[in-house]
Every structure is written in structure tokens, then in C-alpha cells.
Amino acid sequence: MPYWIKCNIDGSANKNTSACRGIFRNSNADLMLCFAENTGCGNVFHVELSGAMRAIEIVDAHNWSNLWLELDSSLVVNAFKNKSVIPWSLSNRWNNCFYHHSTMNFFVSHIFREGNQCANGLVNFGLSLSHLTCWNQVPPFIQKFYVENKIGWPMFRFTPSLGGFGLVPLLFILFCCRFLFVFINISLVVVALAAPLLG
């Protein structure tokens, strides 16, 4: 959507610590900012709520007015419709963020994990941090995910078997699909470049 900023959020937790992270992109899929933050001990719901709140706080600090928040947690998406699920320890911060997002054009949606690779790629780095860290350029450890996501490269998650259908044939089919996708994209670019010369 033109003039909108999209932020993909993710979070993770282990028995010792947890972290949230997010990546902001404009309507051309260009990076505007990304962040990662250690959130201490907490469950995944607590962490992803913290990531959503951090994203809203960053948007408010930058005076951006159109935010599309995308997460792979349906629980957090539903929290924007039902504040009663918010833990009491986060309720004050949530109410502040709720006020901020009510003053902007705001949209929240769910995305499957496979489509959230850029935010997910910040996970290990976030767990090792002691404070909020932001980048204005693509960090090298998510460069691959960022480029693939920007060109529309499909993402897949594999399981050892699929109803008796072996993994190797499935991988081959998916490889062929990815090759076909790239071939079609290249063909479209060639046609677009050649059209003015032929016309």
C-alpha cells in the first residue's frame, strides 16, 4: 500500500531469556529500520506482545502515520480486538500503545511463519543482546532473507514425509517451482526491456 509502512514482528523464548524483533519496510519493500531487543524471561505471547508494542513506540517516535503490523502470532493479532487477554504486567504499556495506534492509520494482520523470515532471522542476535538495538541498513545476518523476500521468492517449511510422499520428490518439485518462478520473472523483465526497442 503506498505511503504505508509495514512492520513484521517475531519473538522467541527459551528457558533463560527471550527476545523480540521487527523489520520496517516501505511500500517498495525497502528497509526503513529494523530492531531486536532482549525482553528477559517470558513466554512467547509476552515476547510477541512486547515486539508489537515496541514497533508502535518506534513508529510514534518517528512520527510515521500509516502502520501495517504483521505477525505470525494469531494470539497477538486477537489481542488488538480483545484487551482482556493482556497480562496485567503489560497492561499500562499496552494502554499507552493502544492510544498511540488510535491516533494513526493502523492495520494488523496474521502471516504464517514461512512468510516472516526476515523478522525470524533476527532471533539469535536478539537473544544475545542486553538492550534495544536498531539498524538503518540490512544487517548481514538477514541479507539473504531480505533479498529473497523483496523479489517475492517463495518460502517453504518441510516435514520428513507428507502422507507417504517422500521428502526427496517433494524437494525436487519445490526446486522446479522456484526455478520456474525465477525464469518467469526474468522473462518478464526481458520483455519489458525489449518492448520499447520493438515498438
pLDDT digits (tens, 9 = 90+) for 129-138: 778 888 888 8
pLDDT tens string 42-86: 788 888 899 999 999 999 999 999 999 998 888 999 998 888 889
Do both 116 and 192 map to the same domain? no
What is the pTM (predicted TM-score) of this model?
0.69
Assess contact for 31 and 25: CB atoms under 8 A: yes
Which of 127, 150, 173 marks a domain boundary? 150
Asked if residue 112 belongs to a domain, the reply is yes
Looking at the chain, list the stretches that DSSP marks H as alpha helix, in order from N- to C-terminal side: 44-61, 74-79, 91-102, 117-120, 123-127, 143-150, 167-198
| pLDDT at residue 105, as a whole number | 92
| pLDDT at residue 179, as a whole number | 75
Do both 64 and 35 map to the same domain? yes
How many domains are there within the chain? 2
Burial class (CB in 10 A: 0-12, 13-18, 19+), 144: middle
| pLDDT at residue 153, as a whole number | 59
Do both 42 and 97 map to the same domain? yes
Do both 123 and 185 map to the same domain? no
Candidate from 16-20, 36-40, 116-120, 187-191 with smallest mean pLDDT: 116-120
Asked if residue 65 belongs to a domain, the reply is yes
Evaluate if residue 19 carries a pLDDT over 90: no
Asked if residue 156 belongs to a domain, the reply is no
Do both 101 and 65 map to the same domain? yes
| Structural domain span for residue 75 | 5-150
Distance CA(48)–CA(3), nearest Å, equals 25
